[in-house]
Amino acid sequence: MRFRAQLHGKETLLRLLTSIERLGKTAYLVLSPTMIQLYLIPSMSNPLKMRIDVELSLLFNDVVLQSLTDNIIYMELDISYFASSIRSAQKIQDIIISLTKKGNFPFLSLQLKPSADIKIVQDIPVNIIGKDEFENSLVSPLADPADVQICLPPIKLFYNLIERYRNIGSSCLIAANMNGQMSVKVESMDANITTFFSQLVNPPMRNEQTVISDSGKIGEVTLDIRRFLKILSSYALTPQKVVACLFSKQALVLHVLSDGIYITYEIPHSEI
């Protein structure tokens, strides 16, 4: 098993690590010949799911990647250690990242050369896992056809709305259909407020997924507002589009699209 590469997209990598670091502590890192993937590992206290897909060429040059599982390497790591190492290397141009072993312990090692006669090595402990263990971990967000899929309004506008709702109640009800209509409702003992959006776009998803034909069908999901705001404020990049997939009474899945980067979040339905 080997991995070695020249890191050239350190700013992009740091933004992605920061976005997942805001939501949880540990993650799976999956390296393949064309992609790098990060999966937030959910817990009982933090059931949020997050997946990041990035084209390998956006981050690395001169890649050497070998393994017995179709040249794919699966590992678990503390995302804060990884983010801290990349954060400390932002002013350094010559960065080599590699999978190493010291004693019986694997590390993701960063070799930094701030000058010709200085080399700094930072070792990030990792746990190498098998393909079966990863596939059985259930960290990937829902991928089944949603009841409704719809583009969110501009993120800043939408975030400000949910932020105001936080002062009224602890949860909000999102409802949408395949006719470009969406509503967001919050209730309390003193108020009942609903905001309506129309003329939104109902797109097909990636992999040429067919748009749902029943335009009158309504998808509904209730979300914990604090969790929802945590997701909406975690973006470390400017998305071109955010697609919301409503799985009624199950979850809201958000797909965030940017150049060469695809981020998916799953926020569970709340019974609050």
What pLDDT shows up at residue 156? Answer: 87
Task: Write down the H helix ranges in the chain.
Answer: 10-21, 79-88, 131-135, 155-165, 225-232
- Rg of the chain in Å (alpha carbons): 20
What pLDDT shows up at residue 145? Answer: 84
Residues 272 and 170: beta-carbon distance below 8 Å: yes
Closest C-alpha among 63, 133, 141, 69 to residue 99: 63
The CATH 3.70.10.10 domain(s) of the chain lie at: 2-135, 148-268
What pLDDT shows up at residue 259? Answer: 78
Tens-digit pLDDT profile for residues 83-105: 999 999 988 999 999 999 999 99
What pLDDT shows up at residue 73? Answer: 98
**Hunting for tokens 């694997």 — which residue is that?**
106
What pLDDT shows up at residue 215? Answer: 65
Closest C-alpha among 82, 81, 83, 75 to residue 137: 75
**Hunting for tokens 């990349």 — which residue is that?**
86
The amino acid that residue 248 corresponds to is S
Closest C-alpha among 46, 44, 39, 37 to residue 267: 46
What pLDDT shows up at residue 204? Answer: 74
Which uninterrupted H or E stretch holds 243?
A: strand 241-247
The amino acid that residue 30 corresponds to is V
Residues 102 and 123: beta-carbon distance below 8 Å: yes
Angle between helices 10-21 and 79-88 (to 10 degrees): 150
In our burial notation (b when 16+ CB lie closer than 10 A, e otherwise), range 26-59 reads bbbbbbbeebbbbbbbbeeeeebbbbbebebebb
Give 148-268's CATH code, choosing from 1.25.60.10, 3.70.10.10, 3.40.50.920, 3.30.70.270: 3.70.10.10
Calculate ∠ Cα 110-115-117, nearest 5°: 95
pLDDT tens series, the chain, 272 aa: 999 999 999 999 999 999 899 899 999 999 999 999 999 998 888 889 999 999 999 999 999 999 999 999 999 999 999 999 999 998 899 999 999 999 999 999 999 998 888 999 999 999 999 999 999 987 888 877 899 999 999 888 999 999 999 999 999 999 999 999 999 999 998 889 999 999 999 987 544 444 455 667 899 999 999 999 988 887 656 677 899 999 999 999 999 888 788 999 999 999 76
- Residue 8 in 3-state DSSP? coil
- Residue 46 in 3-state DSSP? coil
The CA distances from residue 88 to 16, 37, 92, in Å, are: 15, 22, 9
**Global pTM?**
0.89
Fold for the domain defined by 2-135 = Proliferating Cell Nuclear Antigen (3.70.10)
